[in-house]
Amino acid sequence: MDQIGHYINGARVSGASGRTADVFNPATGEVQAQVALASKAEVDAIVAKAAAAQPAWGATNPQRRARVMMKVVDLLNRDMDKLAEALSREHGKTFPDAKGDVQRGLEVIEFCIGAPHLLKGEYTDGAGPGIDMYSMRQPLGVVAGITPFNFPAMIPLWKAGPALASGNAFILKPSERDPSVPLMLAEIFKEAGLPDGCFQVINGDKEAVDAILDNETVQAIGFVGSTPIAQYIYSRGCANGKRVQCFGGAKNHMIVMPDADMEQAADALVGAGYGAAGERCMAISVAVPVGDETADRLIAALKPRIESLKVGPYTAGDDVDFGPLVTAAAKANVQRLVQTGIDQGAELVIDGRDFSLQGYEDGFFVGPHLFDRVTEDMDIYKTEIFGPVLSTVRAETYEEAIGLAMDHEYGNGTAIFTRDGDTARDFASRINIGMVGINVPIPVPLAYHSFGGWKKSGFGDLNQHGTDGFKFYTRTKTVTARWPSGIKEGAALNFKAMD
C-alpha cells in the first residue's frame, strides 16, 4: 500500500500524526494508497519553514522568478502524460480530460511568466512641487491555497503560479481524495529552480485546514471547494485578519432559445452536463428551454446523444466519455438526490440508476440521467448534485428563463444559446452570474482573464488568475517622496493639498 506524506523543504516527508485517509481507485473501488493527515503541530512547523525560506525568494528579482515559471511550463509539458495518468488513477476522469486539467493550469503558469510586468507599480512624476509618488506591489509573505478534488492539477497551479511569481512562499493543502498530482507539481517547481521551502504541500483534512486558518504567519488563503466549507473558511480566516477569497459550488443554467441551433445546443449540453461525470464547478446542470416546442425538440435531440455515451475507466481508451465518481459517498449522494427527483415528481427521461460495468462492479460509476419537468421547489433543482444528472426546467418566456438563473443562490457560470444578438446582449448585461457563455456552454475564462463566481459561488474580493491573481497575492505600498530642496522650507503643520 502506497503511503503519501507531505512535501517539506524540497523533499517528500512521511506524516507524523498517525492519522491517515484512504485514497481510492474510483474505477475499481479499491484503496490504492493512504494519505497522511497533518496535525496542527505539523502544519505550524511546515509554515515556519516556509517563512524562513520566503525572504530570499521575495528578494529575488522578478525576472529570475519568471524564469522559474518558464522552466515549470517546459517540465509540465514534458511530464504531461505522467501527470494525467496519476490524475486519472485517483480522480477517475478520462485521460484526455486529465490532460486538459493539467493544461488549463499550465496556461496560468505561462501567464505568470509576465510577473515582471504585472508587478510593476504606478508612478506620478511631480505629484506636488518636488514630490514624486509611486506604488509597488510586494509579496505578502507566506500564503496558502486550499483546493478541491475535482481539478487536482489546475486549481493548485492557479494558486501556486501567481503566489510564487509574486515572491511569496506557498503552502498547498490539496484534497485528501487525490493527493498525488499536487506532490508531483511541487517536485516540478523544485526541478525548475524554486528554492526549497517556497512550495510546501501539507496533506490533511479539517484539522490541517483549521491550523492554516489560525496560523498567524499565513497572510492570505485562496480556497476552492463546496459552498458550506467556502463560507466557513471565509468567516474564520477573515476573523483571524487574513486576506481570504473562497470559491464555492454551482448550479449552472443553460438557456436554450427557440431560435437556437438545436443540434449545437444538444451537443453542448451533453459535453457540459456529463463531461467529467458532472464533477465540474462549470458543468451545466440545468437546461432551460424557452417554450414547450423548444423543450420537446431539445429533449428529442438529447436522448440519443445521452443514450450513446460510453461510461468506463480511463484505462479503456479515448472513446470513453466519462468515468466514475470520486468516492462511494459521492455516488450514494447522487443516487439519493436522483430518488428525491423521482419522489418529488420530476420526469426521469433517461434512467442511469441500474448502470453497471462488467469487471468494475465495485467502482463508483453512475450512468447518465436526464430529468424533464423539473421545478424550482425540487431538491434536484436547489442542490448541486455534482454527478451525471441534467435537469430540464421548462420556461414559457425568456424573462422567466433569465429569472430562474438570477434567482438561484449560486452564480458561478451560465450560458445562452440563441441566434439573436439582442437577446444574447441583454442576457450578458443583466445576469447576476460571474461567467457567461454565448453559444459556449462552459465559459471558463482563459489564463489572462480571471475566473470567479458571484452570489454563493464566491466569497471575498478579486478573482482567480489573470491580473486579479497577482493582486490577491500581493499588497500595495505607496511612497510619497520629496527630496531636500523641498524640506528646507521648514515644517508644514496643515494637511497639504498637492498644489
Q: Of the listed 112, 198, 246, 281, which one is catalytic? A: 281
CB-hemisphere CA count at 13 Å for 419?
A: 6
Tell me which H or E stretch contains 65.
Answer: helix 62-78
Distance CA 329, CA 334 (A): 9
| Nearest approach, Cβ of residue 418 and ligand NAD (Å) | 26
The reply to whether 112 belongs to the active site is no
Residue 139 vs 249, nearer CB to ligand NAD: 249
| Nearest approach, Cβ of residue 430 and ligand NAD (Å) | 22
Q: Please check whether residue 453 is in contact with residue 413, taking contact to mean a CB–CB distance below 8 angstroms.
A: yes
| Nearest approach, Cβ of residue 391 and ligand NAD (Å) | 16
Distance CA 86, CA 95 (A): 10
Summarize as ranges the residues that interact with ligand NAD (CB under 6 A): 146-151, 173, 175-176, 205-206, 209, 224-226, 229, 247-250, 281, 384, 386, 412, 453, 457
Cα end-to-end distance, the chain, whole Å: 73
Q: Where does residue 402 fall: left (phi above 0), alpha (psi -120 to 50 degrees), or beta otherwise? A: alpha
Q: Which residue is at the shortest CB distance from ligand NAD?
A: 225
Tell me which H or E stretch contains 256.
Answer: strand 252-256
| Nearest approach, Cβ of residue 339 and ligand NAD (Å) | 20
| Nearest approach, Cβ of residue 356 and ligand NAD (Å) | 25
Distance CA 341, CA 329 (A): 19
CB-hemisphere CA count at 13 Å for 342?
A: 13
Residue 10 vs 249, nearer CB to ligand NAD: 249
Residue 185 vs 229, nearer CB to ligand NAD: 229
What are the Cα distances from residue 84, in Å, to 14, 92, 277, 322, 406? Answer: 24, 11, 17, 15, 36
Residue 124 vs 335, nearer CB to ligand NAD: 335
Residue 245 vs 423, nearer CB to ligand NAD: 245
| Nearest approach, Cβ of residue 474 and ligand NAD (Å) | 21
Helix (H) and strand (E) counts for the chain? 17, 23
- Inter-axis angle of helices 206-214 and 227-239, nearest 10: 30
- Inter-axis angle of helices 95-112 and 154-165, nearest 10: 10
Residue 394 vs 455, nearer CB to ligand NAD: 455
Residue 281 vs 301, nearer CB to ligand NAD: 281
What are the Cα distances from residue 308, in Å, to 2, 302, 355, 358? Answer: 37, 10, 13, 17
| Nearest approach, Cβ of residue 205 and ligand NAD (Å) | 5
Active-site positions read 281
